[in-house]
Structure 1
Amino acid sequence: MDHSQPASMQDVARAAGVSPQTVSRVANGSNAVRPETRQRVEAAMEKLGYRPNYAARALKHGRFKDIGVVLFSMLSYGNARILGGIAQAANDSGYAITMQFIGRNHERTLEAAVERMKQLPVDGVIVVMEEHVPDFDTFQPPKELPVVIISEDPANHCPTIDSDQYGCSTAIVDYLLSKGHKTVYHIAGPSSSRAAESRARGWHDTLDQLGLRIPPTYMGDWDADSGYQAGLVLAHDPDCTAIYAANDQMAYGAMLGLQAGGRRVPEDVSVIGVDDSLVGTVPRLALTTMRMRFNDVGSEAFFMAKRMCEGAKVPAGVKTVIPAELVERGSVRDISV
């Protein structure tokens, strides 16, 4: 065999002592192959470096069995966990995923991202909508390429799914008020983040609807240092007895800032975060948080896209919301008793 040329299906068939049709069945995931034969064919594929012709497979079966995933960033905890949920569900279903980043040098619109995905061998697209884009309300997905958007806001032309960003904030504020606090201070995430905006809106609306004082918002950037700086400032505000930070990193930073400023947590100030992202990172973790089920968001988004790729109708404008879970530890004190 000429090793300068890629291995063919016939090469694998000869090496495994089977017919090319059997190699084709193995490559296409057919169950009509005996396990020992499958193992022999797969061993020959690996030895020869054979790669199935996915374009031919798509022509035959109508699908590539690959879902495109568009991300703004891999740096955030939530995005990494969402991607993990998508990847696990895809693997369990015999699918692959193709990732694409919307970098600062790209046109940051849904249309541009999906157009780039159309050039790749994917059956559908999941967009993790971390930031604002100008065409969110006007975007029309191509008829031949199903699109699912991970966004709390419903889209006019695509199904959407997300964690309950707004609802987690209302639950946090209600929880802190039930502990006797007269109001709740908020350390928000960056203004470019859709999740941060929803969390801040839930905090503000809940206090406003109850007629309670709404303290100034402290703007953070998701990192612990920004929480620390806010904690240092709030340590000198005697009216501050409860802080809701929009993620756990900022909440943990705020706890350290408060302590550096002479306030104790939770004796003087209660602190709560969101995500439950510090487990296994911070020893003896005392931070009470609202756990977001990002893995479930990712896996549900994948199965939604898969159903659409297989011909099922998922109505546009339908929003699926995955609720958060309160995890009580030791950073909130009940001052009502």
Structure 2
Amino acid sequence: MRSVGGDRPPAMADVARLAGVSAQTVSRVLSGHPNVQEKTRGRVLAAVEQLGYRRNSAARALSSGRSRTIGVVTLQTTFYSRAAVTSGIENAAREAGYTVSTATTASLDTSAIEAALARLAEQDVEGVILSVPLTHTSPRIEQLTRSVPTITIDGSRTAATEVVAVDQSLAARQATRHLLDLGHDTVWHIAGPEEWLEAAARRDGWRTTLEEAGRTVPPPLEGDWSPASGYRNGLILGRIPDATAVFVASDEMAFGVIRALHELGRRVPQDISVVGVDDIELAEYCSPSLTTVAQPFTQMGALAVAHLLRHIENPAAVPEPALVEPRLVIRASTAPAKP
């Protein structure tokens, strides 16, 4: 830590002076407040790094020597799955006597994830749950996850993290196998974004199942998790005469697919069977009700907290991945292929 004015360690006012902002802005940046311009946030974090500033956690540590706070890095999104996992984390943390500090990131760039991790480290969190798909790491991310016990969700990992994940390949195999067992010659796929590990695993599981069954593998259609992308791809799929079954990489995209098929006069499931992934609450109530592969979001959040607390108590323990099995839920959107 760089001294300022003799032996005095740097204070928040020194960071504010170097960054050219107010002390209140520095506080908002270090607290992970979303209403700060990225340019300003970058100046503050650069000043923090240059001065070696560390927030004073003495007040928190007076009684126990611990902050009793867990940090969560999550993507800034309205997707149901993200909110459900975060809710599971918050409930489990509260039951264990911990509070949760959340740092959101607007993108999956390593620089954005680095900044989110740094904001949490400044808050003296005891551990971090990295709830974003991490396809690429960086020296800074590796350093941050080594310095603070870290659990990753979605199959991401760094050298120092422990993984809690749903077996996404199995989810895809369950969905694809279900459609093949209903007599469909092959299964089309509307995939999630390539940069998401979940999407890549589902795509691989779908392709492998078709190849093992000796079936033709159609070219995957590309979505972005949104109902709108499902709708756009549904308009394409609905114009392919031989398409009788589709595995969609998320329920929200599946809703868009079903609407597009309705508009094209393709009946679900009489003409095309549809399977999604997630089993969000609306899946049971769309028309027809959606066959899907359920993901235990709340359980995932609770399991991540349990593993993180174990990791906090024994940081030297060798991280062991925990793989959770998904479950196929059969409803009205799938039916046997026409003879």
Report the TM range for the smaller structure's normalisation: 0.7 to 0.9
Native 8 Å contact 2:110 2:136 kept in 1: no
Q: 2:297 aligns with which of 294, 298, 308?
A: 294
Moved more, 85-94 or 279-288: 279-288
Q: Name the residue aligned to 1:322.
A: 324
SS in 2 for 1:279: helix
Matched, 1:277 2:289: no
Q: Name the residue aligned to 2:258.
A: 255
- Unaligned runs of at least 5 residues, structure 1: 1-52
- Partners of 1:90 and 1:138 in 2: CA distance: 24
Native 8 Å contact 1:86 1:301 kept in 2: yes
Matched, 1:165 2:181: no
Do the aligned partners of residues 242 and 141 (structure 1) sit closer, same or farther apart at CA in structure 2, a change above 3 Å counting?
same
Deviation at 1:59, TM superposition (A): 4.7
Q: 1:58 aligns with which of 56, 61, 66?
A: 61
Do the aligned partners of residues 187 and 170 (structure 1) sit closer, same or farther apart at CA in structure 2, a change above 3 Å counting?
same
Q: Name the residue aligned to 2:206.
A: 203
Native 8 Å contact 2:228 2:256 kept in 1: yes
Q: 1:213 aligns with which of 211, 216, 219?
A: 216
Count of equivalent residues:
284
Deviation at 1:55, TM superposition (A): 3.3
Do the aligned partners of residues 280 and 290 (structure 1) sit closer, same or farther apart at CA in structure 2, a change above 3 Å counting?
closer
Do the aligned partners of residues 257 and 143 (structure 1) sit closer, same or farther apart at CA in structure 2, a change above 3 Å counting?
closer
Deviation at 1:83, TM superposition (A): 0.2
TM-score normalized with structure 2 length = 0.76
Deviation at 1:204, TM superposition (A): 1.5
SS in 2 for 1:274: strand
Q: Name the residue aligned to 1:335.
A: 337
- Partners of 2:333 and 2:245 in 1: CA distance: 10
Note the alpha carbon deviations across 1:216-249, whole angstroms, 9 max, x for none: 1111121222212222222221221100101111
Deviation at 1:86, TM superposition (A): 0.3
Q: Name the residue aligned to 1:191.
A: 194
Q: In the alignment, residue 213 of structure 1 is paired with which amino acid? A: T
Q: In the alignment, residue 327 of structure 1 is paired with which amino acid? A: V
Do the aligned partners of residues 103 and 267 (structure 1) sit closer, same or farther apart at CA in structure 2, a change above 3 Å counting?
closer
Note the alpha carbon deviations across 1:116-161, whole angstroms, 9 max, x for none: 3211131111111235334399824555421111132554321111
Deviation at 1:110, TM superposition (A): 5.1
Q: Name the residue aligned to 2:180.
A: 177
Do the aligned partners of residues 313 and 295 (structure 1) sit closer, same or farther apart at CA in structure 2, a change above 3 Å counting?
farther
Q: Name the residue aligned to 1:24.
A: none
Do the aligned partners of residues 107 and 234 (structure 1) sit closer, same or farther apart at CA in structure 2, a change above 3 Å counting?
closer
Do the aligned partners of residues 59 and 285 (structure 1) sit closer, same or farther apart at CA in structure 2, a change above 3 Å counting?
farther
Q: Name the residue aligned to 1:117.
A: 120
Deviation at 1:93, TM superposition (A): 1.1
- Partners of 1:208 and 1:137 in 2: CA distance: 40
Do the aligned partners of residues 173 and 225 (structure 1) sit closer, same or farther apart at CA in structure 2, a change above 3 Å counting?
same
Matched, 1:95 2:98: yes
Moved more, 201-210 or 214-223: 201-210
SS in 1 for 2:142: coil
- Partners of 2:234 and 2:287 in 1: CA distance: 20
Do the aligned partners of residues 206 and 137 (structure 1) sit closer, same or farther apart at CA in structure 2, a change above 3 Å counting?
farther
- Partners of 1:132 and 1:105 in 2: CA distance: 9
Native 8 Å contact 2:74 2:103 kept in 1: yes
Deviation at 1:258, TM superposition (A): 1.5
Larger Rg: 1
Deviation at 1:285, TM superposition (A): 5.3
- Partners of 2:292 and 2:283 in 1: CA distance: 15
Q: In the alignment, residue 325 of structure 2 is paired with which amino acid? A: P
Native 8 Å contact 2:245 2:274 kept in 1: yes
Q: Name the residue aligned to 1:36.
A: none
SS in 2 for 1:198: helix
Note the alpha carbon deviations across 1:160-191, whole angstroms, 9 max, x for none: 11122111001111111111111100011122
- Unaligned runs of at least 5 residues, structure 2: 1-55
Q: 2:85 aligns with which of 70, 82, 86?
A: 82
- Partners of 2:246 and 2:221 in 1: CA distance: 10
Q: In the alignment, residue 66 of structure 1 is paired with which amino acid? A: T
Instruction: Give the % identical residues.
Output: 34
Native 8 Å contact 1:188 1:245 kept in 2: yes
SS in 1 for 2:236: helix
- Partners of 1:197 and 1:136 in 2: CA distance: 24
Deviation at 1:292, TM superposition (A): 0.6
- Partners of 2:283 and 2:254 in 1: CA distance: 16
SS in 2 for 1:100: strand
SS in 2 for 1:330: coil
- Partners of 2:283 and 2:178 in 1: CA distance: 25
